[in-house]
Homo-oligomer: A and B are copies of this chain.
Amino acid sequence: MDNRPIGVFDSGLGGLTAVRELCRLLPEEDIVYFGDTGRVPYGSRSRETIVKYARQDVAFLRTFDLKAIVIACGTVSTTALDTLAAENPIPVLGVVVPAAKAAAEATHNGTIGLIGTQASIRSGAYERCIQTQRPGTVVLAQPCPLFVPLVENGRFHRGDVVIETVAAEYLQPLKQAGVDTLVLGCTHYPLLEEVISDYMGPEVTLINAGAAGARAVADRLRETDALASRKEGGSCRCFVSDRQEDFARIASTFLGWDVSGAVGQIDISRY
C-alpha cells in the first residue's frame, strides 16, 4: 500500500482524459494534476522546447511527495519520456506503449490510423511501438495541428461546423485507406470522440491514449503493491500556469464534478 499521490501533467486540458479514467479505476487515489495553460500548445513546438517545458512540469509536480508521475500528454510521451524517466527516481509513465498495445490488439485488418500533434507524429514513437507489438502492421500517421487549439477553445462539440470541417480534412485519408482502428495519440483528442466517431463510422475502433495510459498505471500500481487505501475516497487537486478562466469550467464539465475550488495557479518558469 502506498498512499502518496500520483502526479499527472499535460500541456493543458487534455490530460484530464487520463485523470477521468484513473479516478474511475482507482477511486481511492489522490491525484495532483498540472496543466501548463500558460504555454499550451506543446505539439507545434520543437523537441528542445518540449523537453525543457516537460522538465519544469515534472520539477513542479515533484514538490509533492509522489509515488509515480503520469505523462498524460501524447507530445511529451513521444518526445521526452526517456529523458524524464532517466532523470527521476520514481516511475514516469507515458501513454505511447499502452495505446500501441491496445491498437495492436484491436485491429483485425492490420491497418491502423494514428492521429497526433506535429511533434508526436514527427517522433515516430507510436509507429515503432505498434511495429514492435504487431510486426507488419500498416500504420497511417496524420498530424492534426489544429485539434489542440480547437479543444482548448472549447470547440469540440458535435455539430460545431469548424471542428467538423477540420476533422473531415484530417481524417479523410485515413478513412479512405480503410483503417479499422484509430489511435487518438494526443490526450486532448478524446474530447473529440463523438466528432471523430461520427466521421470514421462505428466500425472503426478508437483507442483513447489517455485512458490506455491510466489503465497501465493501475496495472503497474497493483503489480508493485503500491495502490492507495482510503475509505473516504481520493482527492484531485489541479494546478495551472495561467488564470485561464475556462479551465475550471471545462474541467468540471469534463470530469463530471466541480473542480473550481481545487484549482491553483503557479509560476511554472520558476521550476
Residues of B within 8 A of A27 (CB): none
A48 within 8 A of B: yes
Instruction: Given A145-B153, A146-B150, A146-B155, answer yes or no on A242-B162 (Cβ-Cβ < 8 Å).
Output: no
* Closest B residue, CB atoms, query A45: B242
A38 within 8 A of B: yes
Q: By the criterion CB–CB under 8 Å, are A152 and B44 in contact?
A: yes
- Which of B41, B145, B169, B243 sits near A46, CB closer than 8 Å? B243
Shortest C-beta distance, A73 to chain B (Å), equals: 17
Residues of B within 8 A of A176 (CB): none
Residues of B within 8 A of A38 (CB): 39, 45, 49
A1 within 8 A of B: no
Secondary structure class of chain A's binding surface, majority of residues: loop
Number of A positions contacting B (CB below 8 A): 27
8 Å CB contacts to B: which residues of A41-61? 41, 44-46, 48-49
* Closest B residue, CB atoms, query A168: B161
A149 within 8 A of B: yes
The CA of A169 and the CA of B159, in the complex, are separated in Å by 14
Residues of B within 8 A of A224 (CB): none
Other contacts beyond A45-B242, A46-B245, A49-B242: 5, CB < 8 A? A38-B39, A38-B45, A44-B152, A44-B153, A146-B162
* Closest B residue, CB atoms, query A267: B52
Residues of B within 8 A of A161 (CB): 165, 169
Residues of B within 8 A of A166 (CB): 162
Contact with B along A130-169 (1 / 0, CB 8 A): 0000000000000001100110110100000110011001
A63 within 8 A of B: no
Q: By the criterion CB–CB under 8 Å, are A242 and B145 in contact?
A: no
Shortest C-beta distance, A141 to chain B (Å), equals: 18
Contact with B along A19-54 (1 / 0, CB 8 A): 000000000000000000111010011101100000
Residues of B within 8 A of A165 (CB): 161-162, 165
The CA of A169 and the CA of B166, in the complex, are separated in Å by 14
Q: By the criterion CB–CB under 8 Å, are B153 and A162 in contact?
A: no
* Closest B residue, CB atoms, query A153: B145
Shortest C-beta distance, A115 to chain B (Å), equals: 15
Instruction: Given A146-B150, A153-B145, A165-B165, answer yes or no on A45-B269 (Cβ-Cβ < 8 Å).
Output: no
